[in-house]
Amino acid sequence: MFISFEGIDGCGKSTQVQLLMDKLEKEGVDSMLVREPGGSTISEEIRNILLKTRSETMSARAEALLMTASRAQLTKDTILPALERCTCVIADRYQDSTLAYQGGGRGLDVDYLIQLNTFATYALDPDLTFYIDISSEEGLKRSGTLNPDRIESAGLKFQEKVREQYLKLAHRYPNRFIIIDGTGTIEGIHGTIWEKTINCLNDTP
């Protein structure tokens, strides 16, 4: 089973990822956590280029291609082998981040990015995608005290475009997208996520 978590910066996604991992471990479910960009030796090198480069302006196309290259390596080296071992894989971001950030935020063609991701991921889609939804204002407020990386520093309007694209993706892929109200309590959100996860696990052959 393959589960991805998505959301704008500051939505609380990474907190929920760790809570789900802890719960799966407690329940004795063989599971693995990966993050994007990163997750393998080559992918982590690409992550450093993507998030820490500030000395020059990176084009939207270069950003999308680097994100996708990192994902291709992570999928081949880590995710696919884990799924073949029947390990439950939890991803802190996956392909939908490129569609939302580089598609919605940077204005690149989403349909082209879908084709690019299909090639990079060997046509692998998550079984479930938890999209934790909050307003861009709330996201900026929550993450304002953190040390922002290059993409997190893009500003409010950028985050609004990213959120709009996420909601479009949820409408486009209703069979795997689950929209979670990110304004709820941490415990309440985790409870909803766990309920959906265990139902999917029980339905998995």
Euclidean distance between CA atoms 76 and 99, whole angstroms: 20
**Band (156; pLDDT cuts 50, 70, 90):** confident
Residue 64, both tokens: 């999308």
pLDDT at 152 over 80: no
Residue matched to tokens 């696990």: 201
What is the model's pLDDT at position 205? Answer: 62
Amino acid residing at 81: P
Mean pLDDT of the chain: 90
Residue 68 CB coordination number (10 Å) = 21
What is the model's pLDDT at position 54? Answer: 58
Domains of the chain in start order, with CATH, are 2-203 (3.40.50.300)
pLDDT tens, position by position, 72-130: 999 999 999 999 999 999 999 999 999 999 999 999 999 999 999 999 999 999 999 99
In the chain, where does DSSP find H-type helix? 13-26, 41-52, 60-74, 80-84, 95-98, 110-120, 136-143, 156-172, 186-203
Single pTM value for the model: 0.90
What is the model's pLDDT at position 153? Answer: 60
Euclidean distance between CA atoms 29 and 130, whole angstroms: 19
pLDDT at 63 over 80: yes
pLDDT: is 150 or 80 the higher one? Answer: 80
Q: Average the pLDDT over each of 16-20, 66-70, 131-135 and give the range with the smallest value.
A: 66-70
